Amino acid sequence: MSRLLVAATILGTLSSASLAQEDAKPAEDFDVVIYGGTSAGIMASVQATHMDKSVVLIEPSTHLGGLTTGGLGWTDSGNKAVIGGLSRDFYEAVKQHYDVPAVWKYEDRAKYSRYRPADDAMWTFEPHVAADIMSKFLAQAGVEPIVGVPLATKDAVEKEGTTIRSITLADGRTFRGTVFLDCTYEGDLMAAAGVSYTVGRESNAKYGETLNGVGTRWNTHLHRFVRKVDPYVTPGDPQSGVLPGIDPDGPGEEGSGDHRVQAYNYRLCITDVKENQVPFAKPDGYDPQQYELLLRNFEAGDHRLPLKIDMMPNRKTDVNNNCAVSTDYIGMNYEYPDGDAETREKILDAHETYIRGLMWTLANHPRTPEKIRTKMSRWGWAADEYVENDHFPPQIYVREARRMVGDYVMTEHDCRRTRTTPASIGMGSYNMDSHNVQRYVTKEGFVQNEGDVQESPRGAYQIGYRSITPKKSECTNLLVPVALSASHAAYGSIRMEPVFMILGQSAATAAVFALDAGSAVQDVPYETLRERLLEDGQVLEYAGGSSGPVKRLTGLKGIVLDDTAAEKTGVWLSSTSVGPVYGASYLHDDNEGKGEKSVTFTPELKQPGTYEIRLLYTVNPNRATNVPVQVVTGREIERFVIDQKKPMKPVRLMLAAGKRTKIVVETTETNGYVVVDGVQLVPVNGEK
């Protein structure tokens, strides 16, 4: 299915001439030429017109708004206090839309937890609502986008020295400008202009980081195989070859860089409202081999629902990747960043076919566990979304493609605030987030995923102006607010839609100052830029401070066992989000798979006696209040229940010597997150 099926209905009425193939015409002149109608490109267009400049916005596909209008309604925002300017205006407009009772067609507004009447903004929304708001922003600014026409395949950029003079589109039209912005996810204009960029993961050594490169050490996350699954076409026979998507040459040396790109998917809008549903159908080109890993994983005993279903208003969703085999089409996008139109089209079609087939498989395949099929029977495509594209999102989630290499590269040191970031033009705060990058065969002969990283920066951080400007020796009138200069690790945090809107607005502001001064974008005086950004409501530093380093629990008496010394059943995730933490991190059950998970400690007691037993965990309002714990001594079992919203009062028990004592933490029927950081046994009455 062609990506060019999404027509002008996405954002209201657009000029039919913008979709027509025309003969070459005299060049059209604009102050600011913006290539890429993502959320960043739209905000950049609005800002430049607010500053009284002529603007043209060009989107190579027929979809405007990028992921914001393309299904990503569950806003990955981090600290919402640092979202300002036009970005904040967008989310305030979302709230104003849902303030109207009549728009709640399929749901009682009072029952939707993400709608909070007293809030100024709202962070979850239906796709068509985002599209309507973006359309209004453009209409109010007087910007009529050109859609469906990409850059020409040859001689697309005319440069004079380091200055771009014009760009030419595939239909022959040429646009001259004083300043250009590349607001595409792919960095296509940047690349065509001869600006340095990279694709894939740097090694950790390149910028002195810890989260880049190959990282099998991070395989403690949710999105991995937790059962032993055979990777071969014929189980047990390496000579038969590996199943689709598995790299027989992986994973590579730990911490080393590679060409691999984190997985893409589509963010799906489905619904459980029967009168607004279209059933999941088996797509043309369905290949059973693409789902063999999924089915083998089920048969190995992993019965987790492999979808992250986040509820939007009106009983719709934003569905994202989850667990070992899900909507992320791992390993199938490596050629996308530098691919030509034909290559990208094949990749996009393959992703859509795979995901449509995945949804059908989960709902209908006889090898899918009955409980999964039962859960899926609730859902279908939202009939009133993406009608022109058979209810499927038109925008693939390009989580990472080309990344510019400028004079300043944002790294995890900026995200962690261990160095000072110069000339802030906005802030980020979300996790340094990479989805899986590859599937490989372990030394033991089983399949495993690699590349998923979820590391909190523990506070908001600044994004520097020089990270969106190319090297001055390469281009002096181009700004790149989306495919900006950042390492793989840092880009994983920066790449959030609210941040792209912030950076698009800041880039347009800088472009206008460069235009007015007749200077290179690299020479825009920061104090002048900063003054205007603040005037426009941008947040450039956060007065609330940061979370700082992880607080550690030290000086504990008695026998103390960390969670790393325990035997674990089921999938437990590691975290340091709430302190104080004993050891490197604590475990939590992700509030899922209740009854399928447990943690067992086996303390070695040198002598019998009475001990005070404390389970170590971090207190938080989202914790379970009914965590069952068993202390097994020989044939005797003592049971008690812990409220993890409160500190634990120690339990006194007589314990025998030897290795017969087991302390078992369970998750059966618990009503919140279960956290296990360790266990402490302190002898009573002077016993040692």
pLDDT tens digits for range 94-150: 999 999 999 999 999 999 999 999 999 999 999 999 999 999 999 999 999 999 999
Average pLDDT of the residues in 603-630: 92
At residue 550, the pLDDT reads: 67
Terminal-to-terminal C-alpha distance of the chain: 72
**Quick check: do 24-200+403-535 and 559-683 share a fold?**
no
Q: How many CB atoms lie within 10 A of CB 51?
A: 19
Chain mean pLDDT for the chain:
92
For the cut 50, the answer to whether the pLDDT of residue 400 exceeds it is yes
For the cut 70, the answer to whether the pLDDT of residue 592 exceeds it is yes
Q: Where in the chain are the domains?
A: 24-200+403-535, 270-389, 559-683
At residue 660, the pLDDT reads: 76
pTM of this prediction exceeds 0.85: no
At residue 548, the pLDDT reads: 58
At residue 1, the pLDDT reads: 40
At residue 22, the pLDDT reads: 44
- Distance in angstroms (rounded) separating the CA atoms of residues 314 and 102: 11
- The fourth-level CATH superfamily of domain 24-200+403-535 is FAD/NAD(P)-binding domain (3.50.50.60)
- Lowest mean pLDDT of 475-479, 606-610, 625-629, 654-658, name the range: 654-658
Residue 94 CB contacts under 8 Å (≥ 6 apart), including other chains: 121, 122, 123, 125, 129, 130, 133
At residue 222, the pLDDT reads: 82
At residue 5, the pLDDT reads: 36
At residue 84, the pLDDT reads: 96
- Lowest mean pLDDT of 434-448, 513-527, 604-618, name the range: 604-618
What secondary structure, in 3-state letters, does 564-633 show?
A: HHCEEECCCEEECCCCCECCCCEEECCCCCCCCCEEEECCCECCCEEEEEEEECCCCCCECCCEEEEEEE
Closest listed residue to residue 688, CA positions, set 651, 662, 657, 661:
657
Average pLDDT of the residues in 540-544: 83
- Lowest mean pLDDT of 356-360, 382-386, 579-583, name the range: 579-583
Average pLDDT of the residues in 294-320: 97
- Lowest mean pLDDT of 21-30, 97-106, 171-180, 525-534, name the range: 21-30
For the cut 80, the answer to whether the pLDDT of residue 218 exceeds it is no
At residue 16, the pLDDT reads: 35
The phi, psi pair for 382, rounded to 5°, reads -70, 115
- Lowest mean pLDDT of 20-34, 268-282, 361-375, 660-674, name the range: 20-34
At residue 14, the pLDDT reads: 36
- Distance in angstroms (rounded) separating the CA atoms of residues 321 and 204: 26
| pLDDT level of residue 17 (50, 70, 90 thresholds) | very low
Is the CATH number of domain 559-683 3.30.2290.10? no
| pLDDT level of residue 21 (50, 70, 90 thresholds) | very low
Tokens representing residue 503 in the block: 């950076």
Of the two residues 6 and 110, the one the predictor is more confident about is 110
At residue 9, the pLDDT reads: 35
CB 313 within 8 A of CB 107: yes
Q: How many CB atoms lie within 10 A of CB 157?
A: 21
Exposed, middle or buried: residue 117 (CB in 10 Å: 0-12, 13-18, 19+)? exposed
At residue 545, the pLDDT reads: 58
Could you tell me if residue 621 is left (phi over 0), alpha (psi between -120 and 50 degrees) or otherwise beta? alpha
The percentage of residues in the chain with a pLDDT greater than 90, rounded to a whole number, is 82
Tokens representing residue 369 in the block: 């566990």
Q: How many CB atoms lie within 10 A of CB 598?
A: 21
| pLDDT level of residue 600 (50, 70, 90 thresholds) | very high
For the cut 90, the answer to whether the pLDDT of residue 570 exceeds it is no
| pLDDT level of residue 208 (50, 70, 90 thresholds) | very high
Average pLDDT of the residues in 329-350: 98
- Distance in angstroms (rounded) separating the CA atoms of residues 530 and 424: 8
For the cut 70, the answer to whether the pLDDT of residue 24 exceeds it is no
- Lowest mean pLDDT of 34-43, 414-423, 493-502, 542-551, name the range: 542-551
| pLDDT level of residue 496 (50, 70, 90 thresholds) | very high
- Distance in angstroms (rounded) separating the CA atoms of residues 452 and 435: 4
At residue 687, the pLDDT reads: 45
